[in-house]
Amino acid sequence: MSKEVISLSDVNIYHGSNMVLNQVNLKIHSGEFVYLIGKTGSGKSSLLKTLYGELPLREGEGKVAEMDLKKIRPSNVHLLRRHLGIVFQDFQLLTDRTVFHNLDFVLQATGWKESGKRKARIAEVLNMVGLATKDFKMPFELSGGEQQRVVIARALLNDPEILLADEPTGNLDPEVSDDIMKLLKEISNKGTAVFMATHDYRLINKFFGKIYRCESGMINETSSLNG
* Whole-angstrom distance, CA of residue 51 vs CA of residue 62: 8
Distance, CA of 6 to CA of 65 (rounded, Å)? 6
Write out pLDDT tens, residues 31-50: 999 999 988 888 898 999 99
The pLDDT tens digits of the residues spanning 99-108 come to 999 999 999 9
227 falls in which pLDDT band (50, 70, 90)? Answer: very low
Tell me the pLDDT tens digit for each residue of 149-165. Answer: 999 999 999 999 999 99
* Distance between CA atoms of residues 119 and 100, nearest Å: 8
CA distance 6 to 30: 9
State the DSSP H helix or E strand holding residue 22, giving kind and residue range, or none if neither.
strand 18-29
Q: What is the DSSP string of 85-99?
A: EEE-TT----TTS-H
